[in-house]
Structure 1
Amino acid sequence: MGLGFAATLFRQGAIAGLTALRRRMLVTLELNNKDRAYEWFLAWMAEQNRLVASSSSRSVKWLRSHQLSLETNVEQRSNGSSSVLFRLVAGPGVHYLKYHGAWMQMKRERETKAMQLMTGTPWETVTLTTLSRDRGLFPRLLAEARDLAMRSQEGKLVVRTAWGIEWKPFGQPRRKRPLRSIVLGKGVGERIEHDVQAFLRRRQWYADRGIPYRRGYLLHGPPGSGKTSYIQALAGALSYDICLLNLSERGLADDKLFHLLSNAPERSFILIEDIDAAFNKRVQTSEDGYQSSVTFSGFLNALDGVASGEERIVFMTTNHIEKLDPALIRPGRVDLSVLIDDASPAQAKTLFTRFYGGDEAVTGLTEEGVERLGEVLGSITNEEMQQGRRASMAALQGHFIRYGAQEAVDTCRELFVDRRDAL
């Protein structure tokens, strides 16, 4: 009995001593999939695993892992084509790596019994463990993961869509479009850009006066005039992302709309297209009889009500501003309303010279020849406008892509239509 009692005390003492020693000598870092750094870390691991396989990594050494997970990214394009990218990352289980001379244990755990209610994604946790003396390597590792994620998106535009009550990236990051590639009327683009930049500089000014720090823009005009294209280019110029919000999305209700608008990612524009059709029953009702439950009053309250969030920029577009309720476009909900109209003579000439200028080897035209044809196109545009006929910038762009410079000018009159009949 005495020996058994002594053995029990020794075992408990050994366990307590080992636990105390572990607490003193080891440090643990926990990441869960609710944190943005979680995806960065997994992407970093996948990249390091690839570098180790190619013997080009000097900072990380892996033991061979037999537990892998597959992540598939699908990008569906508007023309029906799609691309699929596969990425192999460390799966649930225990893995080991040597980072800058320090061994670390990486344990990935997945909760199979509990799921995120809105997305159905299982909760996951990654735990990194190393010696306490090497705790300074954690910020260094996370900084590398962050920089890798930022480099992969450098020069690109990230578009997000609502997934439940969360914003998720839609497809792969898109290449940024130069702001000068969008040809608008004289001073129109500069007016919007200057207003956005002034708003971003006046955060403290808003706070000192108790004004909610948010801004709303409405771009209206005929189809194909460049409203959405300009917003995308402006977001790229300011290094902002775009959160595309579809008010007709299945399952979207007022409470979810409040949450989405109040929790938009930092440095992002919220884009709501065709706002005039958002509360049209014909548009909201799908083939299976489903109708969105977002109400007009709920949408107005989400924009500037008591429960509305701050620190956001909302862009709305419409082809028919006359159909909008005055309550929607009042100041506070729409702070700046700008007309993006059909092609003017100056716009048509500018777009033409940008398409065909600077490449004499391809077009066979000198800069003077391109300028002369641009003047002819501007004159034709002016004549058609005097007769009440207009052409959109999108129609002109497609026309220029299809034809050479001389032929594009000779056949451009077919693009002009009576806008009253077209609408």
Structure 2
Amino acid sequence: MGVGVGLTILRQGLVFGTTALRRRLLVSLEVNNKDRAYEWFLAWLAHNAQSAAPTSSRRAESWLRSHQLSVETAVEQRSNGSSSVLFRLVAGPGTHWFKYGGAWMQMKRERETRSMQLMSGTPWETVTVTTLSRDRHLFSKLLTEARDLALRGQEGKLVIRTAWGIEWKPFGQPRRKRPLHSVVLDTGVSEKVEQDVKAFLQRRQWYADRGIPYRRGYLLHGPPGSGKTSYIQALAGSLSYDICLLNLSERGLGDDKLNHLLSNAPERSFILIEDVDAAFNKRVQTSEDGYQSSVTFSGFLNALDGVASGEERIIFMTTNHLGQLDPALIRPGRVDLSMLVDHASPTQARTLFTRFYGGSESVQPELVERMGQQVEELTAKEMYDGKEISMAALQGLFIRNNAQDAVKTLPELFVERRT
């Protein structure tokens, strides 16, 4: 009995001593998949493990030692329309070891399969990184490096996010930013919207001093193909903002979730709601397959400027039919600036024609000027019984033809639209 009691005390002492020693000598950092640093850390780990592979010409300091890997598949869309599939191996659930800053670190990736996130349906995951207490300063350096690596991959690109449950998730790969001058609008339209957005961003304190909610709403209305969405995308890129694309007909989207999404939009993001006239034409929101959304018109209005609505946000809405919008939706406070983006004007047609053919070595400057004058005359509203042409149609015409053929076939395009 004495030996048994002694062994029990010894075992408990060893457990207690080991625990105390671990608490004194080791330090752990826990990151769950609800935090943005979770994806950054896994991407950093995969990047450094690949850099340290034997096929590399240099040997990176970080080296992942693991026999448990997971694959992440990404589709890269190129500017010419083609795409390619990329595979990236990341550390899977289990225990892994890697070296960073001269110190060995243990990483445990744990996945809770018995409980899922209610909105996204993905399992809860946690990454725990453990190292010696003397090396705790390396955690901040590691996370900073992972963040910089993630942001460097998005530098000069536009991130599109969509609503996934009650969260905003990136949609596809970051896209190349479109220059603002590449979207040709009528005289003064682009400048007025851009100046208003920049003035709003610089008056945060002005709004706070006067007790005005710090939010701004814009409505771009006009016919299809006039460049409304393209301009919003270019404007976001010029201001280094992202775009959060909100689809009001999404299944499962209700008033409470809509309010949560608008109140928790990522920083430096535009919230884009396209074709808002189709969403609430008769104050009932129905999708194409007949599914009626639970988002109500009153709930949408309250999410825009109600008591529980969030601040520090910029909302862009587009519509092809301004007259079908309810006056309650476009009143000041919900829509602070409404701008018409109309069919192609003579000035727009001339500018677009010059940008397409002005830089061609085979086209002389005098010929470009004469061609531009002809395009301006053909797109005048007084001709062809007042028929008009969209900027999308003009762009398609210039893509298919050279300068001479474009001017020759332009009247035929008007005839096709009239018939």
Q: TM-score normalised by the shorter chain: which range applies?
A: over 0.9
The worse-fitting range, judged by mean Cα deviation, of 291-300 and 330-339 is: 291-300
2:332 paired with 1:327: no
> Do 1:390 and 1:418's aligned partners in 2 also have CA atoms closer than 8 Å?
no
* 1:81–1:39 Cα change, 3 Å: same
Deviation (angstroms), 1:127:
0.3
Q: 365, 369, 372: which is aligned to 2:370?
A: 372
Q: Which residue of 2 aligns with 1:168?
A: 169
2:199 paired with 1:213: no
Letter paired with 1:240: Y
> Do 1:225 and 1:342's aligned partners in 2 also have CA atoms closer than 8 Å?
yes
> Do 1:399 and 1:408's aligned partners in 2 also have CA atoms closer than 8 Å?
yes
Q: Which residue of 1 aligns with 2:280?
A: 279
Unaligned runs of 5+ in 2: none
Q: Which residue of 2 aligns with 1:123?
A: 124
Q: Which residue of 2 aligns with 1:6?
A: 6
- Distance in 1, matches of 2:261 and 2:381, equals 48
Unaligned runs of 5+ in 1: none
Letter paired with 1:103: W
2:133 paired with 1:132: yes
Q: Deviations over 1:313-361 (max 9, x none)?
A: 000001111111110000000000011111111110000000111121x
Q: Which residue of 1 aligns with 2:387?
A: 389
Letter paired with 2:35: D
- Distance in 1, matches of 2:29 and 2:195, equals 44
2:23 paired with 1:23: yes
Deviation (angstroms), 1:140:
0.9
* 1:320–1:256 Cα change, 3 Å: same
Deviation (angstroms), 1:182:
0.7
**1:293-308 superposed matches below 5 A:** 293-308=294-309
* 1:418–1:204 Cα change, 3 Å: farther
3-state secondary structure, aligned to 2:168: strand
Query: So what's the TM-score if we normalise by structure 1?
Result: 0.93
CA RMSD in angstroms comes to 2.1
Q: Which residue of 2 aligns with 1:51?
A: 51
Q: Deviations over 1:266-307 (max 9, x none)?
A: 1110000111110247982433x4211211111101100111
Deviation (angstroms), 1:375:
1.6
* 1:414–1:315 Cα change, 3 Å: same
Identity among equivalent pairs (%): 75
* 1:25–1:59 Cα change, 3 Å: same
2:415 paired with 1:413: no
Deviation (angstroms), 1:383:
5.6
3-state secondary structure, aligned to 1:416: helix
- Distance in 2, matches of 1:320 and 1:286, equals 18
> Do 1:110 and 1:124's aligned partners in 2 also have CA atoms closer than 8 Å?
yes
**1:153-302 superposed matches below 5 A:** 153-280=154-281, 284-287=286-289, 289-302=290-303
Deviation (angstroms), 1:193:
0.6
Q: Which residue of 1 aligns with 2:63?
A: 61
- Distance in 2, matches of 1:418 and 1:327, equals 38
Q: Deviations over 1:234-270 (max 9, x none)?
A: 0000111111111111121111111111111111100
> Do 1:390 and 1:417's aligned partners in 2 also have CA atoms closer than 8 Å?
no
> Do 1:165 and 1:259's aligned partners in 2 also have CA atoms closer than 8 Å?
yes
3-state secondary structure, aligned to 1:387: helix
- Distance in 2, matches of 1:393 and 1:152, equals 33
* 1:87–1:264 Cα change, 3 Å: same
Q: What count of residue pairs does the alignment treat as equivalent? A: 415
- Distance in 1, matches of 2:34 and 2:15, equals 34
> Do 1:155 and 1:176's aligned partners in 2 also have CA atoms closer than 8 Å?
yes
* 1:407–1:218 Cα change, 3 Å: same
Deviation (angstroms), 1:80:
10
Letter paired with 1:267: R
- Distance in 1, matches of 2:134 and 2:103, equals 10
Letter paired with 1:23: R
3-state secondary structure, aligned to 2:356: helix
Deviation (angstroms), 1:392:
0.7
Deviation (angstroms), 1:10:
2.3
* 1:270–1:418 Cα change, 3 Å: farther
Letter paired with 1:191: K
Q: Deviations over 1:201-238 (max 9, x none)?
A: 11111111111111000001111111000000000001
* 1:385–1:274 Cα change, 3 Å: farther
Q: Which residue of 1 aligns with 2:397?
A: 399
* 1:387–1:296 Cα change, 3 Å: same
Deviation (angstroms), 1:46:
1.1
Letter paired with 2:365: E
* 1:300–1:405 Cα change, 3 Å: same
- Distance in 1, matches of 2:414 and 2:247, equals 32
Deviation (angstroms), 1:385:
5.2
3-state secondary structure, aligned to 1:186: coil
Deviation (angstroms), 1:76:
8.6
- Distance in 2, matches of 1:409 and 1:346, equals 15
> Do 2:77 and 2:173's aligned partners in 1 also have CA atoms closer than 8 Å?
no
* 1:127–1:138 Cα change, 3 Å: same
- Distance in 1, matches of 2:292 and 2:81, equals 26
- Distance in 1, matches of 2:161 and 2:59, equals 33
- Distance in 1, matches of 2:291 and 2:81, equals 25
> Do 1:114 and 1:122's aligned partners in 2 also have CA atoms closer than 8 Å?
yes
- Distance in 1, matches of 2:286 and 2:84, equals 30
